[in-house]
A and B are shown apart, each in its own frame.
Chain A
Amino acid sequence: GAVVSQHPSWVICKSGTSVKIECRSLDFQATTMFWYRQFPKQSLMLMATSNEGSKATYEQGVEKDKFLINHASLTLSTLTVTSAHPEDSSFYICSASVNTEAFFGQGTRLTVV
């Protein structure tokens, strides 16, 4: 199957700093990628749709200025959590689709202290 890779797998940052998470499609091109957030013991919530070469589409309630998404190439989307706060601590997962199947990255555990 197709491979989606996220980096880093985990990151700890101080309040007020920004953190960038990368999502790469390793063996296919993805014009669209998706970013999800998963709180402990809860489901994955779609945050935004990342579109190559254009602006991301954010789900209702997701602050676009807080969660900056850039999809500069067909194999890379980045999510930057700006001015992170402890409530942003979560598990962030990206995905991309090939034909009819979505493939997921391994996720990034963000802890803001």
Chain B
Amino acid sequence: AQSVSQHNHHVILSEAASLELGCNYSYGGTVNLFWYVQYPGQHLQLLLKYFSGDPLVKGIKGFEAEFIKSKFSFNLRKPSVQWSDTAEYFCAVNRVGNTGKLIFGQGTTLQVKP
């Protein structure tokens, strides 16, 4: 069965700390990978995506993620978090060619203390 697993459910960091959120997937075939962020009271927004090519992708707001095919992983990183990064983060996958039908991980709540 297709699934996405996020390792951390709730992460608390101080400002300027480094962030890494784990994401592993189980999905047959070639996949596209995404990280979404949901700020309190707002829409889900795309942080970054991987379709092909360089496995290290850079997104908005200083986030990046690395696709490691052998580990079925797509971990999200940021060298130095800010208080404004406090949000819910979702990893998601879909099958190549089927952009809209996403399988989401459980989500990680990130709380950044000022």
Q: Which residues of A contact B (CB under 8 A)?
A: 4, 32-34, 36, 41-46, 49, 93, 95-97, 99-107
- Told that A34-B100, A36-B104 touch, could you supply 8 new A-B pairs with CB distance under 8 A? A43-B107, A95-B102, A97-B100, A102-B46, A104-B36, A104-B45, A105-B43, A106-B43
Bound: A104/B44 CA distance, A: 6
Query: Looking at chain A's contact residues, is the secondary structure mostly helix, strand, loop, or mixed?
Result: strand
Interface residue from A43, A49, A103 paired with B104 (Cβ < 8 Å): A43
Bound: A64/B32 CA distance, A: 28
Q: Which residues of A contact B34 (CB under 8 A)?
A: 102
* Pairwise interchain contact B106-A95, C-beta atoms closer than 8 A: no
Q: Which residues of B contact A (CB under 8 A)?
A: 4, 32, 34, 36, 42-46, 49, 51, 90, 99-107
* Pairwise interchain contact A101-B99, C-beta atoms closer than 8 A: yes
Bound: A44/B34 CA distance, A: 14
- 24 residue pairs of the A-B complex, CB under 8 angstroms, read A33-B100, A34-B100, A41-B107, A42-B106, A42-B107, A43-B90, A43-B105, A43-B106, A44-B44, A44-B102, A44-B104, A45-B104, A46-B103, A49-B100, A49-B101, A95-B44, A95-B102, A101-B46, A101-B49, A102-B46, A102-B100, A104-B44, A104-B45, A106-B42
Nearest residue (CB) in B for A34 is B100
- Of all A-B residue pairs in the complex, the 10 with the closest CB atoms, nearest first, are A104-B44, A97-B100, A43-B104, A97-B99, A44-B104, A43-B106, A106-B43, A34-B100, A104-B43, A100-B99
How far apart are B39's CB and chain A's nearest CB, in angstroms? 11
Bound: A91/B100 CA distance, A: 19
Q: Which residues of A contact B102 (CB under 8 A)?
A: 34, 44, 46, 95, 102
Q: Which residues of B contact A103 (CB under 8 A)?
A: 43
* Pairwise interchain contact B99-A102, C-beta atoms closer than 8 A: yes
How far apart are B91's CB and chain A's nearest CB, in angstroms? 9
Q: Which residues of A contact B90 (CB under 8 A)?
A: 43-44
